[in-house]
């Protein structure tokens, strides 16, 4: 089924989605409790064409991302986690078997929001000189970073994520892989700077099983280096 732009925007409006800059929590008009809401995309649905099609973005955002948000709100309703921030929910449910479903949906909600921000229709290529210098210091050269990024992207077995992070101990940049819903914000070792979603639903409609082609296209044409710089500046 195709989701056209008008239909997608109508659906997004019906969700009452808030902007990413406005935060992920919104008041529940019914009674004062807080719901986790689906943030707006930081660009139009078709803005990443032809690297990622509007059709893929529509399914990924309006079906998968929204599905995690909806499931999370049901799971935390009436529990001590209701009304807590998304990051708090992720951290308080991480590693707890009885809260695995909450963690999975909370982490996936956060990861997807971070992924959308890691992409830009004006991204890709090399970053500015200061960030290139940080990359050179951490990986040897930008070309070495590029090879490591693509190797990590294809080397993650099954579903998961490839993160560019700041290691809090060494103060160097590094790449880490996490499986399924796992996320660096559940711990305190790394500051996430950008992420690549390597779940098949992120790319299969456009690239089928060609994950390397997808990862290459993201890095070369969509990587939001300004977002990386902003996250570094806040660390």
Dihedral sign (CA 101, 106, 107, 111): positive
Specify whether the CB–CB gap between 180 and 68 falls below 8 A.
Answer: no
Chain position carrying tokens 């500015």: 128
Nearest in space to 177 (alpha carbons), one of 146, 202, 150: 150
8 versus 40: the higher-pLDDT residue is: 40
**With 90 as the cut, is the pLDDT of residue 1 above it?**
no
pLDDT at position 24:
35
pLDDT in tens, 9-37: 333 333 333 333 333 333 333 344 589 99
Element (H, E) at 21: none
pLDDT in tens, 207-223: 999 999 999 999 999 99
pLDDT at position 5:
38
Q: Which domains does the chain have, with CATH numbers?
A: 5-117 (1.10.287.990), 129-234 (3.55.40.20)
Specify whether the CB–CB gap between 145 and 104 falls below 8 A.
Answer: no
pLDDT in tens, 155-193: 999 999 999 999 999 999 999 999 999 999 999 999 999
pLDDT in tens, 106-138: 999 999 999 999 999 999 999 999 999 999 999
pLDDT at position 235:
80
Q: Exposed, middle or buried: residue 203 (CB in 10 Å: 0-12, 13-18, 19+)? A: buried
Nearest in space to 143 (alpha carbons), one of 49, 219, 43: 219
């Amino acid at each position: 089924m195709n989701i056209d732009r008008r239909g997608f925007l109508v659906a997004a409006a019906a969700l009452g989605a808030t902007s990413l800059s406005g935060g992920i929590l919104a008041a529940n008009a019914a009674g004062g409790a807080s719901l986790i809401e689906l943030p707006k995309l930081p660009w139009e649905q078709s803005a990443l064409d032809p690297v990622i099609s509007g059709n893929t973005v529509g399914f990924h955002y309006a079906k998968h991302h929204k599905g995690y948000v909806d499931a999370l709100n049901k799971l935390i309703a009436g529990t001590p986690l209701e009304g807590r921030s998304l990051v708090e929910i992720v951290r308080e449910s991480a590693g707890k078997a009885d809260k695995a479903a909450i963690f999975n949906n909370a982490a996936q909600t956060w990861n997807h929001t971070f992924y959308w921000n890691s992409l830009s229709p004006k991204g890709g290529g090399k970053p500015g000189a200061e960030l290139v210098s940080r990359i050179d210091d951490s990986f040897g050269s930008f070309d070495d970073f590029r090879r490591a990024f693509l190797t990590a992207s294809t080397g993650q077995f099954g579903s998961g994520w490839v993160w560019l992070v700041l290691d809090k101990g060494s103060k160097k940049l590094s790449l880490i892989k996490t499986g399924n819903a796992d996320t660096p914000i559940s711990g305190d070792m790394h500051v996430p700077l950008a992420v690549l979603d390597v779940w098949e639903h992120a790319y299969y409609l456009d690239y089928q099983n060609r994950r390397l082609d997808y990862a290459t296209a993201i890095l070369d044409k969509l990587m939001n280096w300004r977002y990386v710089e902003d996250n570094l500046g806040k660390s």
